[in-house]
Amino acid sequence: MKQKDIKIPEATIKRLSTYINCLERLDDKGCQVVSSELLGESCQVSPAQIRKDLSYFGEFGVRGVGYATKSLTEEIKVILGLDCIWPTVLVGVGHLGHALLNFTFFREHGYRMVAAFDSDPGKIGTEVEEGLHIQPIEKLVETASREKAAIGIVTVPASSAQSTADLLVEAGVRGILNFAPFKVRVPDNITLRNVSIVSELDNLAYLLSNKKPRRRLKKKK
Stretch 146-205 residues interacting with a second copy (CB under 8 A): 148, 150-151, 153, 174-177, 181, 183, 185, 191, 193, 195-205
* Near a second copy by CB under 8 A: residue from 5, 10, 59, 130: 10
Which of 71/209 has CB closer to a second copy?
209
Contacts with a second copy by CB under 8 A: the residue count is: 71
Give the interface segment with a second copy, choosing from 12-20, 53-61, 62-70, 113-121 (CB under 8 A): 12-20
218 DSSP assignment:
P
The rounded distance, in Å, linking the Cα atoms of 219 and 65 is 57
Judge whether 171 and 153 are in contact, CB under 8 Å: no
Q: Does 18 bind a second copy (CB under 8 A)?
A: yes
Rounded to the nearest whole angstrom, what is the least distance from the CB of residue 55 to a second copy in the complex?
17
Q: How many CB atoms lie within 10 A of CB 75?
A: 19
Rounded to the nearest whole angstrom, what is the least distance from the CB of residue 17 to a second copy in the complex?
4
Candidates 71, 58, 65, 76; CA nearest to 20 is 76
Q: Is 18 helix (H, G, I), strand (E, B) or coil?
A: helix
Interaction residues for a second copy, span 41-60 (CB under 8 A): 43-44
**Cα dist. 27→67, 69, 186 in Å?**
12, 6, 40
Give the interface segment with a second copy, choosing from 48-56, 62-70, 75-83, 163-171 (CB under 8 A): 75-83
